[in-house]
Amino acid sequence: MQAKSAGSFKNKRGYPLLFLEKLNIQQVRCDVLTIFPEIINAYLNESILKRAQEKKILDVKVVNIRDFASGRHKAVDDSPFGGGAGMVFKPEPIFRAMDALKEDGVPRRVVLLSPQGKPFDQSMAEDFSREEKRFVFICGRYEGIDERVNISIVDEEVSIGDYVITGGELAALVVIDAATRLIPGALGDKNSIEDESFSWKMLDYPHYTRPSEFRGLKVPQVLLSGNHNEIWLWRRKEALRKTLKARPDLMEKIELAGEDKKLISEIFSEEID
């Protein structure tokens, strides 16, 4: 993320929003190295990430690694030394793609998406959303990339979970999405970040919308009451209830506020009844 002038912000009628130019606007800046640019572009061109790019708080350059492959077939994979199943991502096209990126002299933090990496979580997303350097996300394929890329180019490996997916593209998008959501202005309503799962270091509370009754299922009365204090307490309690049931491991990390202990004892007595 980088502090940057928002020179191109305009209001609905197209007038420049001059006051924004005086503000420092945070930005996630990254290059995504992939052999499937369409996968990355398809996701970037929808919804919040599309709007984040329009607002200049997300800047992504998608680089097709195959453009840096040599030979008639532009092969990016080869069989593994030592034998074994599958193919290995060749080092040369990735090194060449990195050389081309480095020509602009911009400092970069190079992340390899890998099931062997550090598990990605909300605090890492926060760290990424505050990064001053430009990121490079390298999306592996096949059995993985030639280890020399890891040794010479990569600063850190990041995993989106203890399972193996086919390529790093989905993982890169998960990281970019989670980090971008945390930049002020990415979401329409800043409260949406503050209320989400993990922001309270616990899971999110249940959400309801109209109709207030559907197929005999009623929205909890307190949410219709207009009493903001009662609504806050109900949400806090239901977030605690969900966390206790689904992710009790998170309870150790939560700094309990005064009313939380009372809410938890209420939950325990309700669940026993």
Ligand X SMILES: C[S@@+](CC[C@H](N)C(=O)[O-])C[C@H]1O[C@@H](n2cnc3c(N)ncnc32)[C@H](O)[C@@H]1O
Task: Report the interface residues with ligand X, using CB under 6 A.
Answer: 113-116, 139-141, 143-145, 159-161, 163-168, 171
Task: Between 25 and 65, name the residue whose CB sits nearer to ligand X.
Answer: 65
Task: Between 32 and 60, name the residue whose CB sits nearer to ligand X.
Answer: 32
CB atoms within 10 A of CB 263: 20
In the complex, least distance from residue 121 CB atom to ligand X, rounded to whole angstroms: 13
Task: Between 81 and 163, name the residue whose CB sits nearer to ligand X.
Answer: 163
Task: Between 115 and 206, name the residue whose CB sits nearer to ligand X.
Answer: 115
In the complex, least distance from residue 150 CB atom to ligand X, rounded to whole angstroms: 10
In the complex, least distance from residue 198 CB atom to ligand X, rounded to whole angstroms: 19
Residues in the chain: 273
Task: Between 88 and 240, name the residue whose CB sits nearer to ligand X.
Answer: 88
In the complex, least distance from residue 138 CB atom to ligand X, rounded to whole angstroms: 7
- C-alpha distance from residue 28 to each of 175, 177, 239 (Å): 11, 10, 30
Beta bridge partners of 135: 30, 109
Give the contacts of 53 (CB within 8 A, at least 6 positions apart): 44, 59, 60
In the complex, least distance from residue 147 CB atom to ligand X, rounded to whole angstroms: 11
Q: Give the nearest residue (CB) to ligand X.
A: 140
Concatenating the DSSP letter of every residue in 28-82 gives EEEEEEES-HHHHHHHHTSHHHHHHHHTTSEEEEEEEGGGG--TTTT--EEPPTT
Calpha distance 268→6 (Å, rounded): 50
